Amino acid sequence: MWSQAHPDDGEYTPAAGPNDNASVQGADLVEVLNVASDPDAEVDYAENRWNAGFRFGVAAASDCHFRELWDIDAPGMPTTHVFAAQRSVLGILDGFRSGRTTVAQNTAGPFLTIEADADGDGVFESIGGDEVVVTDRKLPKKAMLRVKVRGGKGTTVHVYGAPGRSAGPIATFRPQRANEAYELPLVLKGTDHGWFRVEARSPGSAAGSEADPNLPDQLRGATSPIFVSVGAPAAPRPEIALPAADTTGDRAGLVMGDQGTFTGFSDVAVVGDITHIVAEMHEDHASKVVYRRLDSKGRITKSITLSGRSATARFPRVVAASADVWVVWQDEQGKEQPHRPVILLAHSTDGGSSFTSPQKISKSKGRAINPALALIDGKHPLVAWSDNGEGAFDVYAQILGVDKAAVNISAAGKATSPGVPTDARSPRYPASLFPVIAVHDDKRAVVSWQDDRYDPDPLWTGHTPPAGQPASGGTDPDNWQILASVRKAPGHSWSNPVQVSKVGDRSDRHPGLTVDEHGTFVAIWESGALQSSGSNLQLRSARSTDGGSTWTAFEQVALNADAMSQRPRLGVDPDGTIRAVWYDSRSTDWRWKVFTATLDSDKGWSGASQVSHQGNNTWPALHRGVVVFTSDRGATRTQRDQTQQIFRVKLV
């Protein structure tokens, strides 16, 4: 789900109109009510984009960054209401994605809704955010709009149709009771792509800190529009058009996912000529973990849902050896309040034809997230994950069948503090996140992760200075670094964390890790400047020839200063070559593509080679020269089509 925050300082100004950023396509929501900005400029921007064929709903935000300011911008000041199929994270996100929202100055209202009966049958079948496609601009005489207002007494309610406020309202109401409803004819005038929305205004305090305080009526609430089109849904008409999409064939084949749904975050394990694939699939407002197998002839088995009836399974990883297949993932097991995901593992002994019921691996009462998976001795799964059961997020690791319990391998050398109640920025809980694993000779294991313990104010962009001292700047983003811990063999203890990236002026995140046949461990990560925006991510790498205890200085991987390179993964080809894959913005059609590079022990990293061509392609995974990735190439629109599917390509 993609929302544009306070567009009045990023995409639009009343004087200059939309800038280059306003041409982006695919946003699901746009803020129109933010107490730290100018809501009227935000509404102007939204109407400008709707008139240009962009289709999205509205959002409100308090910009609540500090507990000390809750008197003026606490959560719910303002409020976004969403019409959701169920009270769950995915249910709410699906509602956001559909634009089925309405916003208000606070939780007390005014609460506004708009509905449409476009075919005049007496049934109001559409609500704010919906797209309605009709066959003729002349609608039935009984076609109607219905507006409902709760808590709107003292406000003036305006109904607008395209082009919006510049043409004045098509109807105005002044509620006198706690709940009121109004109906008015639905008429499509002057355009084949119209829209209708509602807003409420009243005198009084400014709607936002940048709002004109002299406005006699300040924005208090607004609905998402109902969009009405003749013949076909609207297509965006941006000032800066996308280049024509690359249609070059890339030998990638669809292996998982249906059109109109999201399937992503895949992983792959290759054993001989068998390919095992897992992914996260969203369906019916639920997230589940799904497994499929490609046999020696490339035939795909039916999908197996490993997460059962759970609606909260995410981020699977898979390993395999002979006929054994293990899959691990995080799962809230349907309990999202509070969020307490656990790590689960399922095992197949028949090559993926069937799996055991999931086994719970994590034991803490905190949040266990982002598992990694490898094999020891070809038969014992080594699982690592992040867990905040002891306060800070730390990395835990356990060899199943060998270790009695998981071990915290990242806590050594980390300083934590609960802070003081009077300062929301005083707690210190450095995080150790996104672990990855590599194992050499079936026994020596290295776990690597990103860590912000060296940042002056971990997880904050600043801190309150001591009494009598001037304010001090923080980092944005944090000074993340890549760390690692080594276990020489089962039965041995894990080493204290060692630094891999070893620089203090960058934000190094999302590591990948592998090891070659000679025992050289190779790490890769994305690296960015310590600035919140305006800087591209690049890939860096380091090697260890002593089993992970010490690491070389970093080297660049396929650097392109004009490209954003991210989420690298490493693997070893069947011939022993170390290979990296990642997704990148350096393509000529401005869409994300998967790229690859290989490592020569003497010459270093090769240049980048493009793996995927069609559509946007992200989140690659790699094993033995086989890449799986997420792609929207099956989508039919650049907006309001969430199609993301898993594709596979064999590189060697």
pLDDT digits (tens, 9 = 90+) for 217-260: 999 999 999 999 999 999 999 999 999 999 999 999 999 999 99
In total, how many domains does the chain have? 1
pLDDT reported for residue 471: 65
29: helix, coil or strand? strand
pLDDT reported for residue 474: 73
How many other CB atoms are there within 10 angstroms of residue 476's CB atom?
A: 13
Cis peptide bond prior to 163, omega within 30° of 0: yes
Residue 384 maps to a domain: no
pLDDT reported for residue 75: 83
Structure tokens at 133: 């496609």
Give, for 41, the enclosing helix (H) or strand (E): helix 39-51
pLDDT reported for residue 610: 98
- How does residue 425 score in pLDDT terms, banded at 50, 70 and 90? confident
pLDDT reported for residue 460: 81
Residues 230, 131: Cα–Cα separation, whole Å: 11
- How does residue 61 score in pLDDT terms, banded at 50, 70 and 90? confident
Mean pLDDT of 199-216: 94
Mean pLDDT of 290-316: 96
pLDDT reported for residue 487: 98
pLDDT reported for residue 424: 78
Mean pLDDT of 153-169: 98
Phi/psi at 324 (5° precision): -95, 135
Residues 194, 192: Cα–Cα separation, whole Å: 6
Read off the DSSP letter of residue 123: -
Residues 261, 284: Cα–Cα separation, whole Å: 9
Mean pLDDT of 567-592: 98
pLDDT tens-digit readout, 541-558: 999 999 999 999 999 999
Residue 536 maps to a domain: no
For CA atoms 423, 426, 432, 433, the dihedral sign is: positive
| CB 627, CB 635: distance < 8 Å | no
- HSE at residue 423, side-chain half, CA atoms within 13 A, is 15
pLDDT reported for residue 184: 98
pLDDT reported for residue 466: 67
Domain ranges, residue 49: 3-230
Residue 162 maps to a domain: yes
Could you give the percent of the chain with pLDDT greater than 70? 98
3-state secondary structure 532-543: CCCCCCEEEEEE
The answer on pLDDT for 53 being more than 90 is yes
pLDDT reported for residue 64: 73
Q: Residue 540: what residue type? A: R
Residues 520, 644: Cα–Cα separation, whole Å: 36
- What is the CATH classification number for the domain harbouring 86? 2.60.40.10
The answer on pLDDT for 463 being more than 90 is no
- How does residue 104 score in pLDDT terms, banded at 50, 70 and 90? very high
Distances from the Cα of 62 to the Cαs of 202, 232, 264, 397, 552, in angstroms? 19, 36, 31, 39, 46
For the chain, the average pLDDT equals: 95
Q: Residue 21: what residue type? A: N
The answer on pLDDT for 457 being more than 90 is no
Residue 123 maps to a domain: yes
pLDDT reported for residue 472: 63
| CB 9, CB 37: distance < 8 Å | yes
For residue 342, give every residue at least 6 positions away whose Cβ sits within 8 Å of its Cβ, in sequence order, or none.
330, 331, 332, 333, 360, 361, 362, 368
- How does residue 421 score in pLDDT terms, banded at 50, 70 and 90? confident
Residue 529 maps to a domain: no
pLDDT tens-digit readout, 351-366: 999 999 999 999 999 9
Residues 505, 482: Cα–Cα separation, whole Å: 13
Distances from the Cα of 385 to the Cαs of 27, 321, 330, 390, in angstroms? 32, 22, 9, 14
Residue 524 maps to a domain: no
| CB 101, CB 57: distance < 8 Å | yes
pLDDT tens-digit readout, 602-634: 999 999 999 999 999 999 999 999 999 999 999
Pick the residue with more confidence: 539 or 208?
Answer: 539
| CB 277, CB 267: distance < 8 Å | yes
Read off the DSSP letter of residue 121: S
- How does residue 580 score in pLDDT terms, banded at 50, 70 and 90? very high
Residue 242 maps to a domain: no
Residue 249 maps to a domain: no
396: helix, coil or strand? strand
- HSE at residue 562, side-chain half, CA atoms within 13 A, is 4
Kindly calculate the radius of gyration of the chain based on its CA atoms and give it in whole angstroms.
Answer: 27
